[in-house]
Structure 1
Amino acid sequence: MSGSSPFGMRVVHLDLKGAPPKVSYLSEIFPLFHALGANALLIEYEDMFPYEGHLKLLRAKHAYSPSEIREILYLARQSELEVIPLVQTFGHMEFVLKHNTFAHLREVALFPNTLNPHEAESLVLVGSMVDQVMELHRGARWLHIGCDEVYYLGEGEASRQWLQQEHNSKAKLCLSHVRAVASHVLARHPATTPLVWDDMLRDMPEDLLEESGLPHLVEPVLWDYGADLDVHGKVLLMEKFQKCGFPRLWAASAFKGATGAHQALTPVEHHLQNHLQWLRAARAGPAGVLQGIVLTGWQRYDHFAVLCELLPVGIPSLAVCLQSLLQGGFSEEVKDRVECCLGVASLDIANFTCREGAGSFPGSDILALVTQVSLHLRSSVEALLDGNRYVTGWFSPYHRRRKVVHPVMVQHIQPEVLSLLARWGALVQELEAALKRIFYPDAVEEWLEENVHPSLQRLQGLAQDLSEAAAPPAPPASPTTRQGP
């Protein structure tokens, strides 16, 4: 460990396409980001940006207003965090192409993820998106234009016809669109440099990349979120991009949101290893070529996926990773600094389950409550339903359907059911209140419906069936006296 960071820019990614925080929460965590070693933000607005005019339909229900965007930028400046906006312009266009108004611009008619690069209207669309975002981010030194995971490129009818022509290829098709978008950015906003994810470029031949002119237009962001990142392979990739003429490159790691689409708790050790590998790659690679590193924190795998770890849940991982980058590795000094910043008595990298409380950082109450739910709610309900001998032996699904139970068994089963209901009901109520302080109602509803309601409903169903089965039988109806002759 050298004790210093090879990354001049340490950029925290805010993925707003799932559980976007209220501005009030951002005001609390930006100073923490700065204290931990961040000096920039990559803000992926997606449908949280207040698009206007014909793009207004892209807005989410709780999209930030223009004044809130300005407040976010002000808060970032106050914490010495440079803002880099991100606008998807090729792949991951679901939030745009899901709308009927823009569905005709899909590369493949059935799939809303990839833009058709052959339609002139496609470039007009992303150009308008870029311009509206840049209008509220004047002076931004960089704009990330996405361009990762452009699935099904070349499979649309127009692309198939184009690919039948001699010398055409999917790589050239991709490069052509990226070059067009980057050229628009530079023409309209000459002080801003476009960034692109590298995955669509990394396997292209060197001569093709060089001839495309793209190295003079964009800076690639090399992303890899694995704990077992191939350091030598990354060095070779950096050297390849440098040979093609890209003067500057970026790295991208992950502090959360990269270990499972339905992940609820962040495996800190995995993400720490990812960052330590990136440190090794940066030191072994060409000197001075890496501008910085983006610590991605994905909130969904794509626009239609479920939520993964909420931002407050991932903050201990972010803290460990940022401090390790800043200090050039992980050490007792890093551990002490993280514990101090987060208000954590004892940090357990291998199993961060808040043994001595979740800490005192903004949102730490959510981490503590989510940990309880994730580790114990489902297992406690399953233990009762599938492991309690009185339930399995005397109040099985057979008995429940027929509302039959031995009265003695009610005394064995009901106290535990009611105790569990009371325990989890109180905790979930506390969690819901904590979530509502930070997130908008639709995100709270989604997280609870995915992570809490299935187990809670099973428990409530058992309580209801038991109550009905234990109820005394209704007295027989008295015979009706016939009136009249």
Structure 2
Amino acid sequence: MESLPWPKGQKLVHLDLKGAPPRVEYLHKFVLKHRTMCHLREVAHCVGTLNPHKEDGVKLVMEMLRQVVELHPDLHTLHIGADEVYMLGEGEESKLWLASPGQTVEQLFLIHVAKVAKAIKEAWPQMHIIMWDDMMRGMSQDTLNDSGLIRLVEPMLWDYTPNLDVEKTVSLLEKYCSAGMVDVWAASSFKGSTSVHTCVPNTHRHVENHRQWLKVAASVSATVKLKGIALTGWQRYDHLSVLCELIPVALPSLVTCLQLLTDGQFNADTQRKVTEKLGISSVEVENMERVSAGEFLFPGRTLAHLIVDLNSFLNSEDVRYFEKNMFVRGWFSPYHQHRKMVSPLITMQIHRQASTYLTVLQQKVEAVREEMVHFYPDSTVQEWFEEHVSPVLIPLQRIRDDITVCLTGMESGH
């Protein structure tokens, strides 16, 4: 297939603020997590699904949107989300509603979204409304035709995988178009979609995702109006999951993906454009040594470099799996510790090695911490270190301290 740049339409960069938000003077948080709003949940233990039967739920959504619109006076497009509503239909009111003949979870979803979309149009008639498409993927064309959403919303089809199924995705876009949803969007990913706890992104993985999206864009019929692509940068998989890659360490991936969409291909020239723009030697952040003695050319460059360095140290087998070290398992097992029957020579060697690792780790940690506080609030810094550093740091400290206690006990005769 001939390589072509992304067709006409917008290229939107998405920054997820539900985790590790860069410093701002204020931040509005996702609301169903809060105790005062928990009565609006579909089920009590799920903070991600709104009860579609409560009018106060729609009022809450509209109040949130009103605040957004007032802060952005030139706003002409709103994304209302509406994805992954896994618990819809599980609440008691929903079960009663679904007990009536012919009423389905699909209809429950569509009725609620249509209600929100109509309220938005009443408040702001010229507003374009985007929504995630995943809850509609399994719906028939007839169901979509009768959904009440035609000419109200624009579906945004998301797929972040490097092996995106081009044929299936094109077919889905064509289905939406045939149902009357002619204006559609794509959503790719430049970070936050590899695994729930990824620390350093793999640019090649995200490049492959965008290459597949280019094939989709080149394959859809002319009747499908592909209005643009959103390059998502998720910070958490959901509000209660751990942090994904921070923004500074993902910037080489973002720039590479944007350049790919512009060029329509990923070759040596594309990579050269990126590395020259950022002043680095590789589009892979793990290999991005400076091309000269000067500074990197992108914001957060020092933090990205320090995180890569720390992450490499944390994931070295000798450090991460120190507890499984042959000498630890062979000469400082729980049996040895309990009876204080250890070889002083070998345990002191273990102690020295653990202490050396801890010294190096603490130096790297302090360097990252000093840089990170320039970009993120203390709560984010603390969370990041507890997630990535503590699982390695604590076992090292424990072994070092246990050896000290054990040898002291042996010397004192206890």
Match of 1:249 among 181, 184, 190: 184
**Alpha carbons of structure 1 residues 217 and 388: separation in structure 2 relative to 1, 3 Å:** same
**Alpha carbons of structure 1 residues 147 and 355: separation in structure 2 relative to 1, 3 Å:** closer
Instruction: Give matches, 1:283-298, under 5 Å.
Output: 283-287=218-222, 289-298=225-234
Q: CA deviation at 1:162?
A: 1.6
- Other-structure match for 1:301: 237
CA distance in 2 between partners of 1:102 and 1:472 (Å): 55
Deviations along 1:277-330, one digit per CA (max 9) or x if unpaired, are: 000001100236111000111111111111111112221211111110111121
What's the secondary structure of 2:18's corresponding residue?
coil
- Other-structure match for 1:22: 23
Contact 1:312–1:362 at 8 Å: present in 2 too? yes
Contact 1:21–1:440 at 8 Å: present in 2 too? yes
**Alpha carbons of structure 1 residues 109 and 415: separation in structure 2 relative to 1, 3 Å:** closer
Match of 2:325 among 387, 411, 414: 387
- Other-structure match for 2:45: 110
What's the secondary structure of 2:134's corresponding residue?
coil
**Alpha carbons of structure 1 residues 198 and 463: separation in structure 2 relative to 1, 3 Å:** same
Match of 2:299 among 362, 381, 386: 362
What's the secondary structure of 2:156's corresponding residue?
strand
- Other-structure match for 1:166: 101
Supply the AA of the counterpart residue of 2:131.
V
CA distance in 1 between partners of 2:352 and 2:61 (Å): 60
Deviations along 1:235-261, one digit per CA (max 9) or x if unpaired, are: 111111111112311000111111211
Deviations along 1:103-136, one digit per CA (max 9) or x if unpaired, are: 2222123322211111111111111111111111
Structure 2, gaps ≥5 residues long: none
Q: CA deviation at 1:461?
A: 1.5
Contact 1:300–1:306 at 8 Å: present in 2 too? yes
What's the secondary structure of 1:442's corresponding residue?
helix
Contact 1:7–1:325 at 8 Å: present in 2 too? no
CA distance in 1 between partners of 2:11 and 2:325 (Å): 49
**Alpha carbons of structure 1 residues 190 and 460: separation in structure 2 relative to 1, 3 Å:** same
**Alpha carbons of structure 1 residues 97 and 387: separation in structure 2 relative to 1, 3 Å:** same
**Alpha carbons of structure 1 residues 475 and 144: separation in structure 2 relative to 1, 3 Å:** closer
**Alpha carbons of structure 1 residues 20 and 408: separation in structure 2 relative to 1, 3 Å:** same
Q: CA deviation at 1:150?
A: 1.0
**Alpha carbons of structure 1 residues 121 and 11: separation in structure 2 relative to 1, 3 Å:** same
Supply the AA of the counterpart residue of 2:115.
A
Contact 2:110–2:148 at 8 Å: present in 1 too? no
Contact 2:22–2:377 at 8 Å: present in 1 too? yes
What's the secondary structure of 1:457's corresponding residue?
helix
- Other-structure match for 1:83: none
Matched, 1:440 2:373: no
Contact 2:280–2:288 at 8 Å: present in 1 too? no
- Other-structure match for 1:375: 312
Matched, 1:154 2:89: yes
Deviations along 1:415-450, one digit per CA (max 9) or x if unpaired, are: 322221211110010011111111111111011001
Matched residue pairs, number?
Answer: 406
What's the secondary structure of 1:471's corresponding residue?
helix
- Other-structure match for 1:65: none
State which drifts further: 2-11 or 451-460. 2-11
CA distance in 2 between partners of 1:19 and 1:404 (Å): 47
What TM-score does the superposition give when structure 1 sets the normalisation length?
Answer: 0.78
- Other-structure match for 1:259: 194
What's the secondary structure of 1:266's corresponding residue?
coil
Matched, 1:200 2:138: no
Deviations along 1:202-250, one digit per CA (max 9) or x if unpaired, are: 2222222222331211111011111111111111111111111123110
Contact 2:256–2:283 at 8 Å: present in 1 too? no
CA distance in 1 between partners of 2:407 and 2:146 (Å): 79
Q: CA deviation at 1:381?
A: 2.3
Q: CA deviation at 1:8?
A: 2.2
- Other-structure match for 1:353: 286
Contact 1:7–1:293 at 8 Å: present in 2 too? no
Q: CA deviation at 1:475?
A: 7.0
Instruction: Give matches, 1:58-73, under 5 Å.
Output: 59=29
- Other-structure match for 2:392: 455
CA distance in 2 between partners of 1:341 and 1:214 (Å): 43
Deviations along 1:450-473, one digit per CA (max 9) or x if unpaired, are: 110121111112222222333386
Q: CA deviation at 1:360?
A: 4.2
CA distance in 1 between partners of 2:154 and 2:288 (Å): 43
**Alpha carbons of structure 1 residues 188 and 421: separation in structure 2 relative to 1, 3 Å:** same
What TM-score does the superposition give when structure 2 sets the normalisation length?
Answer: 0.91
Q: CA deviation at 1:97?
A: 2.1
Match of 2:368 among 402, 422, 431: 431
Report the RMSD for the aligned CA atoms in angstroms: 2.3
Contact 1:197–1:220 at 8 Å: present in 2 too? yes
Supply the AA of the counterpart residue of 1:175.
L
- Other-structure match for 1:313: 249
Match of 1:143 among 67, 73, 78: 78
Supply the AA of the counterpart residue of 1:353.
E
CA distance in 2 between partners of 1:455 and 1:475 (Å): 31
**Alpha carbons of structure 1 residues 439 and 165: separation in structure 2 relative to 1, 3 Å:** same
Contact 1:313–1:366 at 8 Å: present in 2 too? yes
CA distance in 1 between partners of 2:192 and 2:313 (Å): 21
Q: CA deviation at 1:175?
A: 1.0
Structure 1, gaps ≥5 residues long: 25-46, 50-58, 60-94, 477-485
